Chains A and B, each alone.
Chain A
Amino acid sequence: MHLLVCGGTGCNASKSQEIAENLKSTLTDKGLGNEVQVILTGCFGFCEKGPIVKIMPDNTFYTEVKPEDVADIIEEHVIKGRKVTRLLYTDPENKQHVADSKHMGFYKKQLRIALRNCGFIDPQNIEEYVGADGYSALAKCLGEMTPEQVINEIKLSGLRGRGGGGFPTGLKWEIASKNHADQKYVVCNADEGDPGAFMDRSILEGDPHSVLEAMTINGYAIGATKGLIYIRAEYPLAINRLLTAIGQAREYGLLGKDILGSGFEFDIELRYGAGAFVCGEETALIHSMEGQRGEPTFKPPFPAQSGYNKKPTNVNNVETYANIPIIINKGANWFNKIGTEKSKGTKVFALAGQINNVGLIEVPMGITLREIIYEIGGGIKGGREFKAAQTGGPSGGCLTSAHLDTPIDYDNLIAAGSMMGSGGMVVMDETSCMVAIAKFYLEFTVEESCGKCTPCRVGNKRLHEILEKITKGNGTMEDLDNLRNLSRVIKDTALCGLGQTSPNPVISTIENFYDEYVEHIKDKKCRAGVCKSLMQYVIDPVQCVGCTACARNCPVNAIQGEKKMTHVINTELCIKCGACIEKCKFNAISIC
């Protein structure tokens, strides 16, 4: 028998270490030390109900265990084989105790559809993919369905584009299928560029065949025989695995002429991008593939009318494609029962920031932020307070504690002033400065703007400059008005999605954290202690013993004071390097 004790940061803070030691010593006392083992594990993710102790092999899941519960667990469960009912998890819906963790709703918080094979199969081995039901969706399409039926199935599934915009995938396919041409193209957008988002890379590295299969289905549905994957060159491993997968698919006859004896022909090639964020925008992506400057053009014409080489082209994102084979295999009516009314299925998020379990998660649409943070992400680091979650990357905005219980889907996120984006989710606590966050994202958009349209080329630069001014303590209330007007105009006038969404981080932080902006401007204060220019180093005269250590180590001689007398920092000279704090043995120096 094994007793698994959660050793995650959250549970650790609530004495899981002590529980583990108690368990061990009690077991030794009872002479069970050799038969029953106590194991510390990584975070279960369910920190709201921690500390957690799981008993194997019967999968009993005890929550909110206290050190004093150890005796009961060993007496009752280990020795007598009776579950300690009061420690069992209570299902919030039916108020029943759940004895076996396999039946806990908590395990249903994450549902892996797009990531179904990631971490299970060997991505370099087509046979493992076939063994996991791979290419059976393609076989079903080619053998049993007409292109119209395939499109209808995707439409019925309610699948929306996972690249950020959320355009209905089936509708996109239908438009492309209705534009007739001698040649059409299917393009997979693997130009993942949101800072911190890497779900597409993970899918391509972990399950490349699912994307190839889906693209082939897409080709069959719209009448295209050529597929292109636009992938950034800084994804060498993903490129490698894709090339291997394409080679295998060709060898097995799953790409090429007469696929599965159906007469349908389809092949896929890679196109490499240089990593420009704007090339994730589909018209810019197409120009880049054509060897043109990677900049967007206005729509219409849409790629479905005139795309790659002026031919009808359907562009979908990697994660969107990864969903396709399952929808075909299990049916649209299975898929459209997952998620919310207008957002079906699951979404993969790259969970990052001040959260215990940084990771790649896949959750059904409609899950709340609270569930993601506290039941999957293991809560905020150090048990601190949640402040905001940034979704949608540089195009998104911040969700606050007011949104903790809002079901997450495309439309709710937009209503909350953010967006789904490609699935970056950065969790922030009180150590994050919201003005600095807005500045960070603007810095990114300024860097990544193609420079074609005025609002994005010059406007974002100006937004960034004003934010810089505010974080330096030189902002005025007029700057705040300018930020708002400029943001509104850029949103309203920019040419492509990048420009139209780039002010979102500014708008949403002003909206939700107006006080912080005002503090920076009026009080010259950054409550998170992030904006260096607004911080001051001060020596507490009570704590200071006049040891001179700080003065001797100050690189700019900003600290004065006689030996054994209180020292003082000249704030005009101070460069805020922090050397003095490090050297002070009496905790006399603080930042305020």
Chain B
Amino acid sequence: MEMINITIDNKPVQAEKGQTILKAARKAGIEIPTLCYYELDGIKLENRPGGCRVCIVEVEGRKNLAPACATEVMEGMVIHTHSLRVVNSRRTVVELILSDHPADCLVCPKSGKCELQTLAQRLGIREIPYQGAQSTYRKDMSPAIIRDIDKCIMCRRCETVCNEWQTVGALSAVNRGFEAVVAPAFEQDLEKSPCTYCGQCLMACPVGALSEVDQTRQVITAISDPKKTVVVQTAPAVRVALGEEFGMEPGTIVTGKLAAALRKIGFDYIFDTDFAADLTIMEEGTELLNRISRFTQGDKTVKLPILTSCCPGWVNFFEVNYPDMLDVPSTAKSPQQMFGAVAKNYWANQLGIKREDMVVVSIMPCVAKKFECQRDEFKVDGNPDVDFALTTRELAELIRQFNIDFEALPLEDFDKPLGESTGAGVIFGATGGVIEAATRTAYELFTGKKLEKVDFNELRGLEGVRSATVDFNGTPINIGIAHGLSNARQLLDDVRAGKTNFHAIEVMACPGGCIGGAGQPFHHGDFDIIRKRHAAIYREDAGKPIRKSHENPYIQALYKDWLGEPCGEISHHLLHTHYFDKSKHIEIEG
């Protein structure tokens, strides 16, 4: 690494050649405020359009102020990050942004977490000298994401995430000048765009222009209704991130406090999506083995590789982009929907109540789950298997509303029977986890031998695309893993072209898998937070007494008492689904 000498704020600094002023300064402990700049180094995603002009600095010898995020350091460069000229210009720039931004912070979904708000505070802005017209647009309400683009500051983060990391292409800049804004093509509603509701756009959005549909009010109403039995399930990734909302170190595991908090809020049954994850492994693992054995017996119609179908963003993506391959993914429902089906069919029956009197709430690290639970195929006579899907953040809001001292909560257990799970269910929360869990079970079912080493390190990690071959007692099983839909697209294009020999591929839409989901506490581009959640997931798995789904005694009991066998008659009706060609649902009006 070639190092060069520069001076920042009168301090001699060594910087890497080719580095930006922003990075060199941060490394030297000098903080330059930014707004549009957004980086997720773990997935090599960088948004630096150089548009907001907040990070401008003075470089001696240059005519104009330079954006620190986009200007490379050069030998001997002398930089002032907070000179009088810089401070005045930066302040004016932020005042200009604020002059075209609604001042409804009191009820803004990003209030307290808004980067613009923080910046305005930091620069001590008390009034806006440049008052004038404000740009206004219609509010776009989709089933999962709300676009309130009056608040858009044209940082383009959402656009970069949607186009580069997800290759979804739902968002891009439209119009010019003062009217310029980020929107779906032809300023169409998100619902009629190729949007997958992965929500990474709202995760990246520094302000309240993009946010999730809030359902906390409906959940409180359901809990307060004495006629309703409210069942809650909570996804694996929630327990390694929720603590952040209460000032805990990222990666803190809060499973016990989570169960206690849900109980305190007043849910009737505190269950765990991890249980449904184990169930998913039984169904999906069996489906995989069926396909492999049919394939080895010479059945040419069998589709390999099998693709996981737990991630709703991913399901939305292939329904739009790969309508010719709808028979390739596993037909197994996602854990959220398997749980809903079991709750409203099996558990309601056990309790002797009608499904209409049961409300199933899920706590998810995800925004697309809000859309998934509203799909028509997951409803019986209009009544959904899962009524509401709250994000981790919404749960944190509920906990605050109920004045629960989260840190002081005792550690409690989930309720039985749908709250018991294995380590295999837990790792669903990280990229590679679903396929590792499936491997643990499929290995034993396929070979009939006991798996001694349950940790498959070759399947773990945060690389965008990973592949590994697992030896099933002499039969090599080829596994592919992708997180991020751009990476999934790369694998899928190869599959479509017949260029791969994978038996199974796991896809998660979000960075790091569900731990980096759009329903999680905001990380504001700090990828270390995702790394810490990632490590925590595997710690939680390692600490579990049972780590293979098929060894979960409650799963075994469920099959014995009710389901019969994996991929059997009842499973086929309740735990499996089918996919639709949605390539044509994208509408262009006018």
Q: Is there direct touching of A and B in the complex, by C-beta distance under 8 Å?
A: yes
Give me the interface of A with B, judged by CB distance under 8 Å.
276, 293, 295, 297-298, 300, 446-462, 465, 482, 485-486, 489, 491-495, 500
A454 touches B177 (CB 8 A): no
Distance in Å from the Cβ of B130 to the closest Cβ of chain A? 4
Chain B: interface residue total (CB-CB under 8 A): 37
- Between A and B, 26 residue pairs with Cβ closer than 8 Å are A300-B72, A446-B177, A446-B178, A449-B177, A451-B154, A451-B173, A451-B177, A451-B179, A454-B54, A454-B97, A454-B153, A454-B154, A455-B53, A457-B180, A458-B96, A458-B100, A458-B130, A459-B130, A461-B100, A465-B133, A482-B129, A492-B64, A492-B85, A493-B64, A493-B65, A500-B64
Task: Determine the residue in chain B with the shortest Cβ distance to A491.
Answer: B64
A298 near B176 (CB under 8 angstroms)?
no
Tell me whether B64 and A452 are in contact (CB under 8 A): no
Name the one of B53, B85, B92 contacting A453, with C-beta atoms under 8 angstroms.
Answer: B53
CB of B96 within 8 A of CB of A451, answer no
CA distance A23 to B71 in the complex (A): 72
The complex places the Cα of A304 from the Cα of B89 at a distance, in Å, of 31
Task: Please name the residue on chain B nearest to A458 by beta carbon.
Answer: B96
Known contacts A458-B99, A458-B100, A461-B177, A452 near B89 by CB under 8 Å:
no
Whole-angstrom CA separation of A455 from B153 in the bound complex: 12
Q: Which of chain B's residues 151-177 have a Cβ closer than 8 Å to chain A? A: 153-154, 172-173, 175-177
Write out the residue numbers on chain A whose beta carbons fall within 8 Å of the beta carbon of B129: 482
Chain B's closest residue to A299 (CB) is B70
Q: Within 8 Å of chain A (Cβ to Cβ): is B56?
A: yes
* Contact pick for A492, options B65, B173, B175, CB 8 Å: B65
Q: 4 tightest A-B contacts by CB?
A: A451-B180, A449-B177, A458-B96, A465-B132
B136 at the interface (CB under 8 A from A): no
Contact of B93 with A298 in the complex, beta carbons under 8 Å: no
B97 smallest CB distance to A (angstroms): 6
Does B172 lie within 8 Å of A293, measured CB to CB?
Answer: yes
Which one of B44-52, B309-317, B419-427, B525-533 is at the A interface? B44-52
User: CB within 8 A of A449: which of B53, B64, B176?
Assistant: B176
Task: Report the Cα distance A447→B53, complex, angstroms.
Answer: 21
A424 to B: closest C-beta gap in Å: 21
Choose from B67, B89, B154 the contact partner of A457 (Cβ within 8 Å). Answer: B154
One of B93, B178, B179 near A493 (C-beta < 8 A) = B93
Q: Give the docked Cα–Cα distance between A447 and B180 (Å).
A: 11
Query: Please, how many angstroms separate the alpha-carbon atoms of A178 and B389 in the complex?
Result: 59
Chain B: CB-nearest residue to A294: B176
> B50-75: contact bitstring with A at CB < 8 Å (1 yes, 0 no)?
11111010000000110100111000
Asked if A489 contacts B67 (CB within 8 A), the reply is: no
Which residue among B92, B100, B177 has the maximum number of chain A CB atoms within 10 Å of its CB? B177
B293 within 8 A of A: no
- A454-B93 in contact given A465-B132, A493-B53 (Cβ < 8 Å): yes
Name B residues whose Cβ lies closer than 8 Å to a Cβ of A: 49-54, 56, 64-65, 67, 70-72, 85, 88-89, 92-93, 96-97, 99-100, 129-130, 132-133, 153-154, 172-173, 175-181
* Chain B residues whose C-beta falls within 8 Å of the C-beta of A500 in the assembled complex: 64
Q: Compute how far the CA of A50 lies from the CA of B88 in the bound complex, rounded to whole angstroms.
A: 55
**Known interface pairs A454-B93, A462-B130, A492-B64; 5 further A-B residue pairs with C-beta atoms within 8 A, sorted by A's residue number:** A298-B70, A452-B49, A454-B97, A482-B130, A493-B53
Question: Contact: B89 with A493, CB < 8 Å?
Answer: yes
| Of B92, B133, B153, the contact of A486 (CB 8 Å cutoff) | B92
- Interchain nearest-CB distance for B158 vs A (Å): 15
Contacts of A449 in B (CB 8 A): 176-178, 180
What chain A residues lie within 8 Å of B72 (beta carbons)?
A: 300
Q: Are B176 and A453 in contact, CB atoms less than 8 angstroms apart?
A: no
Within the complex, the shortest CB–CB distance from A480 to chain B, in Å, comes to 13
Q: A451-B154, A457-B180, A458-B97 are in contact. Are A298 and B133 (CB under 8 A)?
A: no
Complex: A565 Cα to B504 Cα, angstroms: 100
**Inter-subunit contact A461/B132 (CB<8 Å):** yes
How far apart are B281's CB and chain A's nearest CB, in angstroms?
44
Which residues of the partner chain B approach A297 to less than 8 Å between Cβ atoms? 49-50
How close is B128's CB to chain A, nearest CB, in angstroms?
10
How many Å lie between the Cα of A329 and that of B170 in the bound state? 54
CA distance A134 to B536 in the complex (A): 75
A123 to B97, CA, bound (A): 50
Query: A465 CA to B130 CA in the complex, in Å?
Result: 9
Contact between B51 and A454, CB atoms less than 8 A apart? yes
Given A300-B72, A457-B154, A465-B132, the answer on whether A493 and B56 have CB atoms closer than 8 Å is yes
Q: How near does chain B come to A477, taking the closest CB pair, in angstroms?
A: 14
| Chain B residues with CB under 8 A of A458 | 96-97, 99-100, 130, 178
Chain B min CB distance to A113 (Å): 31
Given contacts A455-B53, A495-B53, contact A448 B130 (CB under 8 A): no
A373 to chain B, nearest CB (A): 31
- B51 partner residues in chain A, CB cutoff 8 A: 452-454, 495
The answer to whether A453 touches B96 (Cβ under 8 A) is: no
Q: Distance (Å) between the CB of B539 and the closest chain A CB?
A: 43
Question: Are A489 and B93 neighbours in the complex by a CB distance under 8 Å?
Answer: yes
Is B178 a contact of A485 with CB atoms below 8 Å? no
**CA separation between A295 and B159, bound complex, in Å?**
15
Q: How far is the CA of A446 from the CA of B52 in the complex (A)?
A: 17
Contact B180 A486 (CB under 8 A): no
Question: Of A293, A295, A450, A454, which contacts B96 at CB under 8 A?
Answer: A454
Residues of B within 8 Å of A457, CB to CB, are 154, 177-178, 180
- Known contacts A482-B129, A489-B93, A493-B65; decide if A454 and B179 are in contact (CB<8 Å): no
Of chain A, the residue at the smallest CB distance from B49 is A452
Q: Are B180 and A452 in contact (CB under 8 A)?
A: yes
User: Bound state CA distance, A493 and B63, in angstroms?
Assistant: 10
Q: Nearest chain-B residue to A445 (Cβ)?
A: B177
Q: Which chain B positions have C-beta within 8 A of A482?
A: 129-130
Report Cα–Cα, A461/B133, bound state, in Å: 8
Supposing A300-B72, A492-B64 touch, asked if A450 and B180 sit within 8 A by C-beta, the answer is yes
A298 and B49 CA atoms in complex are apart in Å by 8
Question: With A451-B154, A491-B64 as given contacts, are A461 and B178 in contact (CB-CB < 8 Å)?
Answer: yes
Cα of A227 to Cα of B70 in the assembled complex, Å: 30
Residues of A near B50 (CB, < 8 A) are 297-298, 453, 495
CB-contact partner of B176 in A450, A459, A485, under 8 A: A450
- Closest Cβ of chain B: how far from A450's Cβ, in Å? 6
Distance A451 CA – B176 CA, assembled complex (angstroms)? 5
**Distance of A134 from chain B, by nearest CB (Å):** 40
How many angstroms between the C-alpha atoms of A493 and B64 in the bound complex?
A: 7
Closest beta carbon of chain B to A476's beta carbon, Å:
12
Return chain B residues, CB-CB under 8 Å to A465.
132-133
Which residues from chain A contact B65 at a C-beta distance below 8 Å? 492-493
Chain B residues in 8 Å Cβ range of A494: 53, 64
The answer to whether A452 and B92 touch across the interface, beta carbons within 8 angstroms, is no
Cα A588 to Cα B420 with chains together (Å): 97
Expressed in whole angstroms, the Cα–Cα distance for A446 and B100 within the complex equals 15
State how many angstroms separate the Cβ of A44 from the closest Cβ of chain B. Answer: 43
Asked whether A489 and B89 contact (CB < 8 A) given A451-B175, A454-B52, the answer is: yes
Contacts A453-B50, A492-B89: A448 and B64 contacting too (C-beta < 8 A)?
no
CB distance from A438 to the nearest CB of B (A): 17
Expressed in whole angstroms, the Cα–Cα distance for A493 and B172 within the complex equals 24
**A571–chain B nearest beta-carbon distance, Å:** 28
Residues of B within 8 A of A456 (CB): 177
Name which residue of chain B comes closest to A301, CB basis.
Answer: B72
Closest to A451 in B: B180
Nearest A residue (CB) for B173: A293
> Cβ of A455 and Cβ of B96 under 8 Å apart?
yes
| Chain A residues with CB below 8 A from B85, complex form | 492
Residues in A with CB closer than 8 Å to B67 are 298, 495
Q: A486-B130, A493-B56, A495-B53 are in contact. Are A448 and B177 (CB under 8 A)?
A: yes
CB of B183, distance to nearest CB on chain A (Å) = 12
A451 and B64 in contact, given A457-B154, A462-B99 (Cβ under 8 angstroms): no
Q: Which residue of B lies closest to A276 (CB)?
A: B176
A276 to B153, CA, bound (A): 22
**Using Cβ atoms and an 8 Å threshold, which residues of chain B touch A300?**
72
